Amino acid sequence: MSRQLVKEHAARLARPGALVRCVDEGETVVVVMEPFVPARSEAYKPSSLEALAFIVPVTYPDAEPDPTGFYVKPATIRLVDGDRPPNSATATPLLGEQWMKFSWKRKTFQWDPNVDTLETHLATIENRFRRGD
Amino acid sequence: MIYWNASTMSALTHSALRARGIMTSIPTDAGVATGRPNGGGADTATAVYHVNDREGRVSPHGEDLPGREILSRAGFSTEKYELFEIVNGKTGPEIPADTIHPVKPGDHFRATIRGTDYSSARA
């Protein structure tokens, strides 16, 4: 709908101790949460991440946030056993920095602009880290 | 570049959310309101809880509800969404659709889109 709506909804993504900022990037807005503490944080090194980011098109909410995945810093995040988390790619550029991108795919249900919001998107991102891998 | 924290939500934010049916009143507290959950039932005193940024309503004294009802009262379907507790600000245990869970005014829950495959890349 508008860049401003993205920013207003991003402002409601309250998480303890975290700040949210938005960066205009072409026809998208990059929503950045700093820091980001994942669920089951003990499964990751470091356990508290510098930042989480995801890309939202300015046509939100009719268009969904980037359905291919999301980004975290540091790009060197590892599981406690030293392995790289599954389905992640290191050194992915975003906002002039290197991030680790986690990829995913919605298989069963698709984005519904009448119900889903950035909060739904963030909650689904957070659910990724409940796996602990 | 704009920075926010939880205390800097604007009235405009609330207006935008209300316009999309996401927020029907400003959740300043767990206060009691007179209204009907999602437009149904008798006109009774109710209080607000949240699933993501959508409101559900419960008795001012709280209610024990199955997960599907917690989702439903906030406008989410059990078919599409999974419900989770929030523990210390992070996503906690799942509340299955048939599991009874106490809901008090002011409680917050998270709903995620079911069936997201975190193991598959999308090119």
Domain spans of chain B, in order of start? 11-113
Of B84, B85, B57, whose CA–CA distance to B72 is shortest? B57
A107: chain B residues, CB-CB within 8 Å: 115-117, 120
* Total residue count of chain B as it appears in this document: 123
Q: Answer yes or no: do B52 and A109 touch at CB < 8 A.
A: no
Is B118 at the interface with chain A, CB within 8 A?
Answer: yes
Is the Cβ–Cβ distance between A11 and B11 less than 8 Å? Answer: no
Tens of pLDDT, residues B73-117: 999 999 999 999 998 888 889 999 999 999 999 999 999 988 777
Q: How many helices (H) and strands (E) would you count in chain B?
A: 2, 10
Whether pLDDT at A42 is above 50: yes
Q: Categorize the per-residue pLDDT at A71 as very low, low, confident or very high, splitting at 50, 70 and 90.
A: very high
A14: chain B residues, CB-CB within 8 Å: 5-6
* pLDDT number for residue B37: 44
Element housing A7 (H / E): helix A3-10
Tens of pLDDT, residues B27-53: 434 445 544 444 444 446 899 999 999
Of B23, B88, B29, whose CA–CA distance to B51 is shortest? B23
A15: chain B residues, CB-CB within 8 Å: 89
Tens of pLDDT, residues A92-107: 999 999 999 998 877 7
Tens of pLDDT, residues A11-39: 999 888 999 999 999 999 999 999 998 88
A130 DSSP assignment:
G
Beta bridge partners of A23: A30
Beta bridge partners of A69: A103
Q: From CA A13, how far away is CA A73, in angstroms rounded?
A: 18
Nearest residue in A to B13, CA atom: A8
Is the Cβ–Cβ distance between A67 and B122 less than 8 Å? Answer: yes
Whether pLDDT at A116 is above 70: yes
Is B64 at the interface with chain A, CB within 8 A?
Answer: no
Q: Tell me what the pLDDT averaged over chain A comes to.
A: 91
